[in-house]
Each structure stands twice: as structure tokens, then as C-alpha cells.
Amino acid sequence: MSPELKKAIDQISKDKGLDRDMLIDTLEEAVRTSVARKFGDEMDAEVSYNDETGEIDVYQFKIVVKEVENPNSEISLEDARAHDPSVQLDDEMGFRVKIEDLGRIAAQSAKQVIIQRMRDAEQEIIYEEYKDRRGEIVSGIIQRRDKAGWIINLGRTEALLPKEEQIPREHYKRGDRVQAILIDVRKEGRGPQVIVSRAHRDYMAALFRREVPEVDDGTVQIMGVSRDPGSRAKAAVMSRDRDVDPVGACVGIRGSRIQNIVQEMRGERIDIVVWSPDIATYARNALSPAVISRIVVDEEENLLEVIVPDDQLTNAIGRKGQNVKLAAKLLGWKIDIYTETRYNEANAIGRGLEQIASVAEISIEQFIAAGFQSIERLREADDEELSSALGLAPGKIADLRAAINFLAPQVQDDADADTGPEAEAAPDAEQDAAQAPVQEQGEGTEAEAKE
């Protein structure tokens, strides 16, 4: 029997990846528990595994006394001297206990303890292994479906692919091989619960790292991803090497790299845009393929007012607001989209202010920052105030005055025409607001289009 026990310990340690010393400690503790159940807690017993013989040694210790009150912990002097004639009162004597003497119930109890301890140790090892693999792509076999989603066999353990983390309209059957990104590992009573996702934005970023060497080595960096899983996505990239085109690197020769990713995403269309530290430039890239006329940045409100040619409104918004929604998620800004006609009608005075800014060769944002938000306010300012606030030379101030005098009546006439009793109301074809969470911030973002 002893060689079999030693062989079993070695085999379990190898197959389950469990520490051999831990298994021996578990075995000793299980036998110790069985001894206590058989003889009571007052029995003084010592349990140890003999690695040479492959046996569990159990010794019961008793105190030598004149009169025995507890036979489990005491022995009479007469009985003790039958074993050792030199023994004295209050000496401690050890007696070997056979494992077979523990009985069937005690042996079964020991087996249950061993199995439970091994299961706990194995689950702890699995948890430690997978908790540091968040963000990795894992592959497994579809095993079964339950109420929470699909159960995937990863080999060492099982993973859950929840319904909300699946790509819409993607169907599986038992035996299918599937890959996903590991997003969480939870400690639960039945063991660690590994959660994977195919809809998470980080899954696409992980695929880029796998398919594009420049992304993997950090030459090209993925700055953000926004997804409408199974339909369309946008990925922002930048290059740390001036000689490396980030978009070209991600697309690959004849689109080979991006096609591998699209195929894994079940045909999800991917727009690769160039990231920029300038939010207006970044927004232009993110709203591609739409042509953008101008972007007004409101940093206080975290808002972008995007003006597009009248024939570009559909491209800017996208099907069911998808293009502007994904751009807003990618940027982390609210986006309002206006056609040029609608914006100009709503900002007649602002248009005049823009023309004056062009004459002065400064931006309209500088006018607004200096407190000049209308032509009337510019007209009221004296030369000293204009020079101080805008840093203009006398010659430029004279040009500015001429532009103000020329444009002020025209702008006022336009404003009166828009608000007069005979003016027709401009058509208002506001699109529904497309709302989406801001990437990396966890806040809401809004995207609106106004015609």
C-alpha cells in the first residue's frame, strides 16, 4: 500500500500542478482530523508522512499515572512497565496507531478532506494564473450554454462569455473554437470565474498588437478605440517614429493585416484615424470620411461645434448616427454637427465677426477670448483697448475700424431680416442626439446633428 500512496502523491502533484509538500501537509491534516473524530480532541496524537517508506505514521502519546481516568490520554504504571520496565510516573509514552484501526468512517472523512483541500489549492493556483492575464487573448472550445452566456473550455479551467460581451448576431455551437479577451477573474465559492469578451474595445486593441508588429513593439500606439460591435469601429493611432506611417502599418500590404482583424471581428468595418494632440484636428480625422468646414472648440463645456457643407451632413452623421456616435466616444467630447446654411443663419453676427477677424489676421477665438463677442462691442472699444487686448499695431487697428464700419450695417440688416415679421423660418431638421459613453472616462457624451 505504501508505494501506491507515494506514487499517487507524485502523480497528483504532476497532473494538477500542485506543490508536493502542500499535498503531504494536506494528507497529514486529514489523518489528524480523522484521529480526533475517532478518539476525541483530548487524545494527544502525532501524524507524519514517512517519505522513505511512503507510509503515514500515527503515534498516540499517554501520560503514566497511578490511576487512569482518561484511557485516551493516560496509562497506568503497571501497563506502562509491561512495555518499558524503566518507565516512571509522569513519563510520556508513545504508541503507534494503525491507520486501519481508525475505521471506515474516519478513512472516508480523511478522503473528503484531502479532496476538498486539493480542490481549494487547485482553484487558488488557477486564480493566481489568470488574474494577471487580464487583457490577453485566450482561445478555447465552446462547451455549453447557460443562462448567463456561453461556457468556454480553456483547458485548465472554464470561462464565461456573457451575452452582453458577445458580438451581436454571432452564433455558436458546441465544439466551435473561439477566442476572446480576458477582462475579469472573480473569486467565487465554486472556484475562480474567468470572464471573457468579444465585444470589448480592448479586444480590438489586442488584435492590433497581435497582427501588427509595430503596435506590439510600441512604434505605433493605439490611442483609443470605439466600437459598435459587429458593425463598425474606429481606432486612433499615432507613430513614435517619423518614418513609420501608423495607418499604413495597421492596414498592411494590400490590407493583409487589417483584413485578418476584420475577419476575426466577423466583418466589422474598421476606420483607422490618425490621433492628434489638437482636438480640432483629431475630430476632423475621427469624423472621416465626412468633409469638415470648421470646428469651434468649447473647452469649458467639453463641446465641439462641427460645421460641414450641406451635402456632407449625411456622411458626418452616418447611418443611424453611427459615425458621429463613434467619433464622440473616441474623442471623449460632445459633438454638435451643423450644416453651413443652418449655422450661418443662426450666427449672422458671428459671421461678420469672422470676416473682421480675417481682416485683422487673427482668429475669431482670440476676439472672443478678449471679450469682443460682437461687432457692436468692437465698435465701442477705443484704439487703446483694441491694441492692449489684441496686440494690434496702429495700421491694423485702422484696417479693423474700416472693416467694422463696412460690415456693421450689413450684419444688422441680415439679423433684422432673419427676425422680421416677413422672414420665413429656416428649416430645422435636427437629428436625434446620439449618446454614448466617453472612452476611458466613464462619463456620458452626446453627439447632435443640426441641419
What pLDDT shows up at residue 128?
Answer: 83
The pLDDT, as a whole number, for residue 276 is 95
How far, in whole angstroms, is CA 377 from its chain's centroid? 50
- 401 against 241, higher pLDDT: 241
What is the DSSP secondary-structure string of 76-145? EHHHHHHH-TT--TT-EEEEEE-GGGG-HHHHHHHHHHHHHHHHHHHHHHHHHHHHTTTT-EEEEEEEEE
Percent of the chain residues topping a pLDDT of 90: 37
pLDDT of residue 92: 86
If one counts every other C-beta atom within 10 angstroms of the C-beta of residue 11, the result is 10
Q: If you average pLDDT over every residue of the chain, what do you get? A: 80
Q: Please state, in angstroms and as integers, the Cα–Cα distance from residue 195 to each residue in 135, 210, 324, following that order.
A: 11, 21, 31
- pLDDT at position 103 over 90: no
Angstrom distance (rounded) from CA 172 to CA 282: 38
Cα 74 to the center of its chain, rounded Å = 64
Domains (ranges, CATH) in the chain?
A: 2-128 (3.30.1480.10), 134-197 (2.40.50.140), 213-275 (3.30.300.20), 278-451 (3.30.300.20)
Average pLDDT score over residue span 160-166: 93
Residue 424 has pLDDT above 60, yes or no: no
pLDDT number for residue 5: 65
Per-residue pLDDT for 426 more than 90? no
Contacts of 306 by beta carbon, 8 Å cutoff, 6+ apart:
283, 287, 292, 294, 295, 316, 335, 336, 337, 338
Residue 276 zone, left/alpha/beta (φ > 0; ψ -120 to 50; rest): beta
Residue pLDDT, tens place only, 278-321: 999 999 999 999 999 999 999 989 999 999 998 999 999 998 89
Mean pLDDT over 132-157 rounds to 90
Dist. CA 356–CA 278, nearest whole Å = 25
